């Protein structure tokens, strides 16, 4: 059977099978009380379900606290507001500090069903984004046999601020509240998701961009152990080559102490004389204080949730050993801008450290003469230097140090208006089946194909299934990735020579910096996606 025709037929059969009986899970008893959702054809959706107490007032900058019970049946037909953020694009949703809610889509006819679960962690640089975006509507996944959950988490200064007073109050460490929210949401899923016809033993956590970075962080955190069975990361990892305690180092990775110093600086800019005064201030004060400042608020090595460097923990076998499915897109870095010229690109290479590794770069990337060629090359180099190498390294460490397999993808679906490849995050419409543009027949075919792989992976930890092109496991000997283009197949990792050139380069640079500063190790850094 022709691949395209076969996939369309398969999709229709799956949708038809799920639509034979209308979803009957219209109400559920969850932590806190009873909720009533909304049924649209064969899919029941439950929106705005609290998974923690509102983090307001004295609960601002505290780890998630238990939900207070409610009486009667709570209406779960409307999304809760997104978390406080500075991005104007979400102003119409009226962001709120009271935002720790999640959403569930299911087509299960009974709570006794045991469907796999996918929990979506949105992106947005850990400063923006929302769980209610139209693009992450879970109806397609639900109709095809998965219970889809989208979660919110605190962002920016309200989600990641550390401060000495907060550390004393907590008795251990402060900061990383947004990550603690993700852990709390996963705990809620474990305790409640069976009510929606799903299996808590088959939870897959899936994140995109900064959400993928967070999934990578959780993969090395003992606080997330046992809360999920598989992990999917779409365009983001925390597997960075090195880290230093020195803010001047190119590999600087914030410690708790540094995070506390940034929290003190932000309090000063906002005019907060004490923690109690800061908790009484409107959130907008901190958003305004951050604008144009040099204050850096993000994930930190707190010793609690992030107990060490991701790469170091993987090398030591200190990670949550689950199957992973991870990847990135063909044009992740985008246009480097007009400042990049043939002369500047050549000069940058000449100035780069570790000169013995330069020959490998020259062999891996084609020579260029014009400014246009230089910009095209630099966008590939930047892609490979960041997401390319870090995704490859995560897959390599999982396959080498763990018992569970790693599956990697390289997404290269794009229109003629994107001649350099698929930009960052453009695989999401294909994953969820929610297109913001008019999809072609090929777009729909690729979307059905990709979602079948993800559903298979969520079901049993392996994306492969009958009638699908084989997606080979990653191992360092063959270095295969599943290339998603017009003819999807497992092939040698794209730009492998460049990835290996960066691997040698990073190893060299880390050794050089270690010689200059003994405080260099390996650690995750805040997402910049």
pLDDT score at 92: 66
pLDDT at res. 511: 87
The pLDDT assigned to 525 comes to 40
Give the per-residue pLDDT at 182: 98
**Number of domains, the chain:** 1
Residue 489 within any structural domain of the chain: yes
Q: Is the pLDDT of residue 393 over 90?
A: yes
Could you say which of 131, 136, 198, 209 is catalytic?
209
Of the listed ranges 111-120, 279-288, 339-348, 509-518, the least confidently predicted one is 509-518
Within a domain: 526: no
pLDDT for 210 beyond 90: yes
Mean pLDDT for 171-185 is: 97
Quickly list DSSP for 431-495: HHS--SS---HHHHHHHHHHHHHHHHHHHHS----TTS---PPP-TTT-EEEEESSS-EEEEPTT
- For residue 369, is it within any domain? no
370 assigned to some structural domain: no
Higher pLDDT: 7 or 133? It is 133
Q: Residue 470's pLDDT is what?
A: 98
228-255 pLDDT, tens digit per residue, is 999 999 999 999 887 777 787 767 789 9
pLDDT in tens, 291-344: 989 999 999 999 999 998 899 999 999 999 999 999 999 999 999 999 999 999
Mean pLDDT score of the chain: 91
pLDDT: which is higher, 21 or 1: 21
Separate counts of helices (H) and strands (E) for the chain: 17, 16
**Domain-located, residue 353:** no
Active-site position among 90, 122, 140, 424: 424
pLDDT given for residue 513 in this prediction: 78
pLDDT of 96 higher than 50: yes
Look at residue 517 in the predicted model and tell me its pLDDT.
66
pLDDT-above-70 percentage for the chain? 92
What's the confidence (pLDDT) of residue 391? Answer: 98
* pLDDT at residue 90 in the model: 52
> Quick one: pLDDT at residue 86?
79
What is the mean predicted confidence (pLDDT) over 495-513? 93
Strand order in the sheet with 147-151: 38-40, 43-50, 101-106, 147-151, 115-121, 198-208, 230-234, 324-329, 406-411, 480-484, 489-492
Residue 305 carries which DSSP code? S
The pLDDT value given to residue 10:
43
Asked if residue 406 is part of any domain, the answer here is yes
Could you read off the pLDDT of 465-488 as tens digits, one per residue?
A: 999 999 999 999 999 999 999 999
Q: What is the CATH number of the domain that holds 317?
A: 3.40.50.1820
Residue 2: its pLDDT value, please? 41
Query: 325 lies in which domain range?
Result: 3-337+385-521
pTM, two decimal places: 0.93
Question: Catalytic residue at 165?
Answer: no
* 302 located within any domain: yes
Does the annotation count 169 as an active-site position?
A: no
Based on the residue annotation, tell me whether 312 is a catalytic residue of this protein: no
Does residue 165 have a pLDDT over 60?
yes
Q: How far apart are CA 436 and CA 13, in angstroms?
A: 25
**Distance, CA of 29 to CA of 31 (rounded, Å):** 7
pLDDT digits 0-9 by tens, 439-472: 999 999 999 999 999 999 999 999 999 999 999 9
* Active-site residue identified among 144, 332, 393, 513: 332
Q: Are 482 and 45 in contact (CB under 8 A)?
A: no
Q: Where are the beta strands (DSSP E) in 152-244?
A: 198-208, 230-234, 243-244
Q: Which pLDDT belongs to residue 87?
A: 60
**Confidence class for position 17, pLDDT limits 50, 70, 90:** very low
- DSSP of 341-374, one letter per residue? -HHHHHHHHHHSS-GGGHHHHHHHS----SHHHH
Please determine, for residue 4, whether its predicted confidence score (pLDDT) is greater than 70. Answer: no
pLDDT per residue as tens digits for the range 43-89? 999 999 999 999 999 999 999 999 999 999 999 999 999 999 976 55
Residue 8 banded pLDDT, cuts 50, 70, 90: very low
Classify each residue of 216-245 as buried b or exposed e, where b means 16 or more C-beta atoms within 10 Å of its C-beta. bbbbbbebbeebbbbbbbbbbbbbbbbbbb
What is the pLDDT averaged over residues 505-527?
A: 67
Per-residue pLDDT band at 491 (split at 50, 70, 90) = very high
């Amino acid at each position: 059977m022709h691949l395209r025709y076969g996939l369309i037929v398969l999709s229709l059969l799956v949708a038809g099978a799920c639509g034979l009986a209308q979803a009957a899970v219209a109400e559920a008893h969850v932590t806190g009380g009873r909720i009533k959702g909304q049924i649209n054809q064969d899919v029941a959706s439950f929106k705005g379900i609290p998974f923690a107490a509102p983090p307001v007032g004295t609960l601002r900058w505290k780890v998630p606290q238990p939900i207070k019970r409610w009486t009667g049946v709570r209406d779960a037909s409307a999304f809760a507001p997104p978390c406080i953020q500075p991005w104007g694009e979400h102003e119409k949703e009226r962001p709120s500090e009271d935002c720790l809610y999640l959403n569930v889509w299911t087509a299960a006819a009974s709570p006794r069903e045991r469907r796999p679960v996918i929990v979506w962690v949105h992106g947005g640089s850990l400063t923006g984004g929302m769980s209610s975006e139209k693009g992450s509507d879970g109806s397609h996944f639900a109709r095809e046999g998965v219970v889809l959950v989208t979660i919110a988490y605190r962002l920016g200064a309200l989600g990641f601020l550390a401060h000495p007073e907060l550390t004393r109050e907590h008795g251990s460490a402060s900061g990383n509240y947004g990550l603690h929210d993700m852990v709390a949401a996963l705990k809620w899923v474990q305790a409640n998701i069976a009510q929606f016809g799903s299996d808590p033993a088959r939870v897959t956590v899936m994140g995109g961009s900064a959400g993928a970075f967070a999934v990578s962080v959780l993969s090395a955190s003992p606080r997330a152990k046992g809360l999920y069975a598989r992990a999917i990361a779409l365009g983001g990892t925390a597997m960075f080559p090195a880290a230093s305690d020195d803010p001047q180092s190119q590999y600087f990775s914030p410690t708790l102490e540094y995070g506390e110093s940034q929290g003190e600086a932000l309090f000063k800019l906002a005019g907060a004389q004490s923690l109690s005064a800061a908790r009484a201030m409107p959130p907008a004060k901190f958003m305004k204080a951050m604008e144009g400042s040099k204050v850096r608020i993000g994930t930190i090595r707190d010793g609690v949730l992030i107990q060490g460097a991701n790469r170091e923990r993987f090398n030591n076998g200190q990670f949550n050993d689950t199957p992973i499915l991870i990847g990135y897109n063909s044009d992740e870095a985008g246009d480097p801008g007009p400042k990049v010229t043939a002369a500047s690109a050549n000069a940058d290479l000449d100035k780069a450290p570790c000169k013995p590794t330069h020959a490998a770069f020259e062999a891996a990337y084609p020579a260029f003469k014009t400014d246009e060629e230089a910009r095209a090359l630099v966008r590939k180099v930047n892609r490979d230097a960041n997401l390319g190498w870090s995704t490859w390294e995560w897959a390599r460490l999982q396959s080498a140090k763990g018992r569970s397999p790693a599956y990697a993808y390289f997404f290269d679906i794009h229109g003629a208006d994107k001649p350099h490849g698929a930009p960052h995050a453009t695989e999401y419409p294909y994953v969820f089946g929610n297109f913001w543009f008019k999809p072609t027949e090929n777009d729909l075919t690729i979307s059905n194909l990709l979602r079948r792989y993800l559903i298979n992976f969520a079901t049993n930890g392996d994306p492969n299934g009958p009638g699908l092109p084989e997606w080979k496991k990653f191992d360092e000997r063959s270095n295969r990735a599943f290339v998603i283009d017009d003819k999807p197949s497992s092939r040698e990792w794209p730009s492998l020579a460049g990835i290996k050139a960066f691997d040698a380069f990073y190893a060299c640079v880390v050794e050089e910096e270690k010689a200059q500063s003994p405080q260099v190790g390996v650690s995750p850094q805040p997402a910049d996606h």
